[in-house]
Amino acid sequence: MTKAQTLAALKNQLDSFYSLQQVIAIIEGIAEPEVIVEKETKLTPAIAGKIAEEISRVLDYNNSDLVDTDSVEFELDYDNKISVTGAGIEIYRIMDHIEAVLTQFTDDDDE
């Protein structure tokens, strides 16, 4: 039963130990629970650009550890050229770098 429903029901009741006016005053004094709605924040184009630049810079700086060198596959072509036919990408390392960049752009108050 909501506060409004309770008040409506009490207004139709007979007096008891407490007067009807006292009960109504008590219930009206009950504070409604405050509902906190988090507002979703959107990135501005300027901040999105800064994040993209920083991610690009970090990945470029750490490019040597982004490829799984143990899984690189080579092929020898007919004219004695060596070609890379496959290479594994270190997704977890890339995501670690991206997460570190994104953390720089978050509020410290959320922690």
pLDDT digits (tens, 9 = 90+) for 30-89: 767 777 777 777 878 898 899 999 999 988 988 888 888 888 888 998 888 998 888 888
Note whether 97 and 62 are within 8 A (CB).
yes
pLDDT of residue 93: 87
Q: Which domain holds residue 77?
A: 45-110
Same domain, 23 and 71: no
pLDDT of residue 111: 46
What's the domain count of the chain?
2
The least confident of 25-29, 56-60, 95-99 is: 25-29
Same domain, 58 and 85: yes
Same domain, 93 and 58: yes
Same domain, 58 and 26: no
Report the C-alpha gap between 33 and 87 in whole angstroms.
57
Answer whether residue 15 shows pLDDT above 50.
Answer: yes
Same domain, 74 and 104: yes
Same domain, 2 and 30: yes
Same domain, 51 and 103: yes
Same domain, 52 and 98: yes
Distances (CA, A) of 16 to 10, 13, 22, 97, 98: 11, 9, 10, 69, 67
Same domain, 82 and 56: yes
Same domain, 24 and 59: no
pLDDT of residue 53: 93
pLDDT of residue 52: 92
pLDDT of residue 78: 85
pLDDT of residue 1: 62
Report the C-alpha gap between 70 and 88 in whole angstroms.
8
Same domain, 79 and 53: yes
Report the C-alpha gap between 26 and 19 in whole angstroms.
11
